[in-house]
Every structure is written in structure tokens, then in C-alpha cells.
Structure 1
């Protein structure tokens, strides 16, 4: 089984810097088997994208810390007891607490936690159990490719008004943080995560009649076919070129996507 990850981002025309932050990594996760007194390992892939709130002074820094914090939580801090079972409520509570502590570690005494507001989308895949965990708070979305079938795994959640959404730093973040587990039963599996700047061009979220652009499948298939690190670099450049040529004219916002495939 091969796990590939890749990402691309583009600064929005109205922004002085890109407030989206992405994280794409793969490696091995270990748990300690007390019964056999040994370590059990699993290959993993993790993709994360965060969109900093444009109106907040430190949102770019917040998005970076959160994107890295999710990786640190699962690979360093989380005490894995099993690859087969997940206590979702426990992980949700612990992960949110850990992320807030990571933000506070870089904040000055005059800062407010909301100054670091950002959305969060991530998918963690564990090859040993063929399971994945995905989390989402805010807008943007996660599209899944299972063999040749596309579906919206997690769509945007907006506030009272269309341009409002929810952020990881809010007091009621746990109420809006969607965390779920899935099982891979496909020969080829892909995940595409994107921020709201490009989401509207990739899918139309509707509970009754969702629409997904075929380009989501194309982006996943490009990554599935990559076999070397050099090819992964080429794919990331192709993603960025596509953001510039085909999507930047449709939105003045930052454009970011991150992709993971299992094949």
C-alpha cells in the first residue's frame, strides 16, 4: 500500500500574505502493546489545511500553529492504545485543548485567543487498520475519492450570514468541530481538502443535490500515479500551476488544497 501526500497554495489578490496554511506528511506511528511488551507500527498519512480569519491580526500565525499542532498531537502527544478503536469524544476534547495550548504558547500577554482564529480541516489515515479520522470546523471542504466515486466527506458550515463561519479558537468550538472515523474498503482512496477560496469551484455543497467537479478526481489520480519524490514535486507544481491558470481569476481569496491518496 502506497500513501502519497501533496499540497499547493496561492496568495489571494486582496491579501498581503497567504493566510492559508497547509501540512502534508507521512511516516510511521507507533503504539505500545502491553500484552506482548512490544511496539506495533503503522504507516500513516496526514493532510491538514487551515484558513486564517482575514479580520484577525495574528490569524496567519494561528493557522500555521494549528496545522503543525494537529501533526504533533497525533504523532507525539496522543497515547495510542489501539489502531482499531477510537474514542472520538476523547480525541476531540484532547485535540482542541492541545491546539489552544499551542496557540497560547506563542501569544503575548496582550493578545486575545481570537486574534489567532482559523478554520481546520484534516484527514489522518492509518494503514495498519485501514481506518481514517477526519476533522473539520468552519468553511472549506473535504472531498473523498473511493475507487471511481466522488463524494463530499465534509462540507462547509457557515454562520448566520453567508460570509460567516466558525473557528477553532471560539468558546463553543467543540460544538462545531466535526470529528469522524471511516474505514477504507476501496482499492484506491483519495482525499482532497480545500479552503473556501477554491471550494466553490471544486464542489457545490447540498444535502439533496451535491455537485463535485471531475478535476477533484484528476488531482487525486495524478498523485496516485506518482512513485518517486521527484514525481511528487512535479505534482505539487502542477497543482500550483492549475490554481494560478484556472482558479485565481474566480476568487480574490487565498487558494489552497492538500491531497492524500492510498493505492
Structure 2
């Protein structure tokens, strides 16, 4: 089975103007057995949340595939508990208090045998070419969301699993460009999601990474001043 992945991030214009680091992180990688992609968005209210986003995203793309079989066999709540326990240990290692390490997490792992596991807490989107697999979850107000190290995280870490029988392309995005990729009125991904997924099927990983960077810089930055991140995985 052929697998490929690509990811890109772009520091939003509002952060560039204020001299604030990019608080988004995106990573994607694969081996012969699985492909994984992850996106983390650090909370703007936490001055060093970019440290947490980098740490959690890097941890997710390595730890989750290593524990895939074990996790996939668990009930959803126990799976969420195990993931939170291990991920919080990684965040604690950054030296940040948990209230300073607020960030979202979106992660998808696709095994070569067809098993797919998606984990999501907070805002952002997980798309296939024709379906929104996971949507943002906001708090009491539209500009609030839930974070991996926040209170009640176990209640809000969502788990999706299913078995794919054919080629799979998934697109993960933070809220920065996610809102432009979801047609809320129709309740489905915007046409650009299909174009990105189909384009990824035809190009190399290097070409895809360059295309993602170009789109973030030249297209999505025109509709959002927030940090921007995209990650793709494909299994044929």
C-alpha cells in the first residue's frame, strides 16, 4: 500500500504585526504500516502556547501510531483517558503549567489494514474529500473552545474510528483556514477541500508541501489573519 503525507504552517498576519510567534503546529509522517497527521493550535491567551503546540503535535505523530493496536481495542472513554494521560505527561515536560499549555489537538492515524482513528479536542476540522469527519467544538461563546490540558478535557476529546475499504485522503486544519474550507450553510466541505485532496493524489510529498505553503501564504492569509495550518495524509 502506497502512503504519503504533507503538512505546512504559516504565521498569521495579526501575529506578524504584533511580533507574536506562530502558535499553530502541523506534522505528518508515515511508515510501511501507517500514516499519521496532526494539527495543534495554541491558545492566543497563553503567551507561550506555541511551545505546547509543538510539543503535543510532535508527540502525537509518534506516540499514537506506536500504541495504535492497543488504543484501537479500547472503549472510547478509556482510549481518551489513556491519550490524555500520556499527552499531559509530554506537556508537563515542557515546564509550562497546564493552564499555560492550552492548545487544541486534531490527529488522524490510518493503518495499512484500513483501520482509521481520529482524535479531536477543540476547534478545527478533519475532512475527507467529500465529508466533514469532525467539526469544531466551541464553548459557551463562539470564540471559546476546549483544550487538551484544560478542565473537562476527557469529556471533550472526541474519538472516531472506522475501517476504510479503499483509498483514503484526509485533510486536517486549524480554525484559521478551516472556516473557509467548510460550507456551513450546506453542512459539507467547500469545493476547495476536494481540490486539495485530489491534487494531493497526483503529486509528490515535496510538491504537496510546497503547494500547501503557497496556499496558506497566498490564498488563506487573504481571508484570515490568524495562524494557518494544514496537514494531509493519503493511503492508496
Q: TM over 0.5, yes or no?
A: yes
Instruction: State the distance in 2 between where 1:205 and 1:54 align.
Output: 24
5+ residue gaps in structure 1? 29-42
Instruction: Please state how far the C-alpha of 1:21 moved relative to its aligned partner.
Output: 0.6
Instruction: State the distance in 2 between where 1:71 and 1:200 align.
Output: 24
Residue 38 of structure 1: aligned partner: none
Instruction: Please state how far the C-alpha of 1:82 moved relative to its aligned partner.
Output: 9.0
Change (3 A) 1:140 1:81: closer
Instruction: Please state how far the C-alpha of 1:86 moved relative to its aligned partner.
Output: 4.3
Residue 180 of structure 2: aligned partner: 201
Instruction: State the distance in 2 between where 1:19 and 1:82 align.
Output: 28
Cα deviation digits, residues 97-125 of structure 1 (max 9, x gap): 11111111121xxx421101000001000
Give the structure with higher Rg (CA). Answer: 1
Q: How many residues matched?
A: 232
Cα deviation digits, residues 202-234 of structure 1 (max 9, x gap): 00346xx403222111111222223xxxx3112
Instruction: State the distance in 1 between where 2:86 and 2:139 align.
Output: 25
**1:74 maps to 2:64:** yes
- For the 8 Å contact 1:224–1:262, the answer to whether it is kept is no
Instruction: State the distance in 2 between where 1:205 and 1:185 align.
Output: 28
**1:56 maps to 2:42:** no
**1:47 maps to 2:11:** no
Cα deviation digits, residues 43-71 of structure 1 (max 9, x gap): 10000000000110221010111111213
Instruction: State the distance in 2 between where 1:113 and 1:182 align.
Output: 32
Cα deviation digits, residues 22-51 of structure 1 (max 9, x gap): 1101014xxxxxxxxxxxxxx100000000
Instruction: State the distance in 2 between where 1:82 and 1:155 align.
Output: 22
TM-score, normalising length from structure 1? 0.83
